[in-house]
Amino acid sequence: MPLTANDPNRSTWLDTPTNTDFPIQNIPFGVFLTREDIITIGTRIGDYAIDLGALHQLGYFDGIGLTDDIFMQDSLNDFIADGRKTWRLVRNRISDIFLEGNNKLKDNVEHKSIVLFTLDEIEMQLPVDVGDYTDFYASKEHATNVGTLFRDPENALFPNWLRIPIGYHGRSSSIIPSGTPINRPVGQTKPGDDGVPGFGPSKLVDFELEMAFITTDANHLGERVSIDEAEDYIFGLVLFNDWSARDIQAWEYVPLGPFLGKSFASTISPWIVTLDALEPFRTNGPTQDPSPLAYLQHGENKNFDIKLQVGIQPEGDEETIVATSNFKYMYWSMAQQLTHHTVNGCNVRSGDMMGSGTISGPTKEEYGSMLELSWKGQNPVQLKNGVERKFIHDNDTVIMHAYSEKDGLRIGFGNCSGKVLPAKE
Ligand code: MN
C-alpha cells in the first residue's frame, strides 16, 4: 500500500508553525482528555490535537473497516492490534482530510469545532496500556562505557554482548507520560566499612536517553518472528527516559540485573510516531563484527536517523542541552531485537514496549546518561549560569527532544520531560 501520507509535497489547510515536529507528513497517534473531560484517541498536526473518535462518528473514515468505538478508547491497543494495513489506511485518510485543497472538513465550521483542539485544551495520557516492557542494551558505546565504569576497562564488553541483543524484563506499571513529576526513589545502597547497607533517598538519580518501539500482536506462544517480518509488527516509536538510581543499581544488580534502581519511573513522549512516518530516514547501523548468527542477519537500512537531545532545567533557571546523540548509533536494530525476543517462542502482544537501552554516541558530547557524561561524578557537567551537575538534583527537569530531518522535511516526537521532586518521607 502506498504511503501517500508521506508525500513531502503535501501541505495542510491547518495553520502550522514552521519547523514543527508535527507536519502533515507525521500523523502520530496518542490518547488525550478533551476539554469536555472525555478520553479519546487522536492525532496531531502542528499545534492542533485532532479527535479521531469524533472524526469517525462524523463519517470521515467511511470505507475503512473499523469498529464503531475503535477510537473511543483509553488506549491504542485495539487499534494497533488491527494491524499494519489498517494503520496505513487510517494515516493516509487523516492526511487526505487535512490536505490543502480538500475543503470537506475545512468548510464545515460545526465539524471543525467538534474535532479540533488547541494543545492547552487537552491533557495527554499514556498512548497504550503497556502489557510488557522490555529494556534492551543495544548501544555498544553505552555498554562499553558502563562496563568500563562498573567493572574492568580491559573487558568492558562481555563476550555475549556482540552475539545477543542483551535485554531484561522491566516494569510496565511505572511508565508515565511526559510532564508527570516523579519522586526521588528511596532504597538500599552499598555497605560502607561496617558492612551495613545504606538506606535513604538515592543520591545518584540519572536519566537514560532511549527510544522505545511499540508492537502489535506478533506471534503465538511457541512461535518465532523471522527477521524479514519483524518490522511488520512495529507500530511506532516514542522517546523514552528510563530514569535510573545508580547507587541503588550498583548494590542490587548482581546476579540478576536491574531491579528497583530502574522501576520507579520511565517517562515517554505521548505521541507515537509511526514507523511508516520514519521511512524517509532509514540508514545503516554500525558494522556488526562478528557477523550475527543467521537468524539475526538482515539487509541494509534497518536503523533510523533520529537526532536526540537531552536538556537539564534547574528550578527557576534555563535549560542547558547536556547531550546530543542519534538513534542510528544502535548496534542492534529494532528488527534484531524483536526477532531475538521471540526466538525462544516468547509471545509479543499489542501495546508491548521495547526500550533501546541508553543511546550513546562515539564522542563525549553524545553520551546518553549523566553516569557517562560526568564519568561517574568525576567530571561535573557545566550548565548555564555557573551551575554544575554530576547527577540530577531535586526540582531539576530533564527534557528530551527527538526529530529526524532531511531535504526540508522534519518529523519529530515533541518533548519527553519529567521533574524530579524530593523523596517522600
Ligand atoms: Mn534503560
pLDDT digits (tens, 9 = 90+) for 70-112: 999 999 999 999 999 999 999 999 999 999 999 999 999 999 9
Average pLDDT for 147-155: 89
Q: Which residues keep their CB under 5 angstroms from ion ligand 1?
A: 135, 208, 242
Q: Ligand 1: distance of its center to the CA of 86 in Å? A: 31
d(C-alpha 233, C-alpha 218), whole Å: 6
- pLDDT score of 35 more than 90: no
- pLDDT score of 300 more than 90: yes
Q: Are 103 and 14 contacting, i.e. CB atoms less than 8 angstroms apart? A: no
Q: Ligand 1: distance of its center to the CA of 170 in Å? A: 9
d(C-alpha 316, C-alpha 175), whole Å: 27
Q: Around Cβ 410, how many Cβ atoms within 10 Å?
A: 17
Q: Are 65 and 86 contacting, i.e. CB atoms less than 8 angstroms apart? A: yes
Q: Ligand 1: distance of its center to the CA of 242 in Å? A: 5
Q: Ligand 1: distance of its center to the CA of 295 in Å? A: 25
What's the confidence (pLDDT) of residue 207? 98
CA distances from 398 to 129, 209, 340, 404 (A): 24, 10, 32, 21
Residue positions counted in the chain: 425
Q: Taking all residues of the chain, what is their mean pLDDT, rounded to a whole number? A: 97
What's the confidence (pLDDT) of residue 151? 85
- pLDDT score of 118 more than 90: yes
- Strand 48-51, strand 397-406: pairing: unpaired
**pLDDT band for position 245 (cuts 50, 70, 90):** very high
Helices (H), 98-210: 103-106, 109-115, 140-150
- pLDDT score of 184 more than 90: yes
Domains of the chain are: 4-124 (2.30.30.230), 133-421 (3.90.850.10)
- Global pTM exceeds 0.75: yes
What's the confidence (pLDDT) of residue 425? 81
d(C-alpha 345, C-alpha 223), whole Å: 5
What's the confidence (pLDDT) of residue 311? 98
- pLDDT score of 146 more than 90: yes
Write out pLDDT tens, residues 334-389: 999 999 999 999 999 999 999 999 999 999 999 999 999 999 999 999 999 999 99
DSSP 338: H
| Catalytic residue check, 142 | yes
Q: Are 213 and 192 contacting, i.e. CB atoms less than 8 angstroms apart? A: no
Backbone angles phi, psi at 121, to 5 degrees: -90, -10
Q: Ligand 1: distance of its center to the CA of 208 in Å? A: 6
Tell me what percent of the residues of the chain surpass a pLDDT of 90: 98
What's the confidence (pLDDT) of residue 1? 83
Q: Which of the residues 142, 340, 341, 401 is marked catalytic?
A: 142
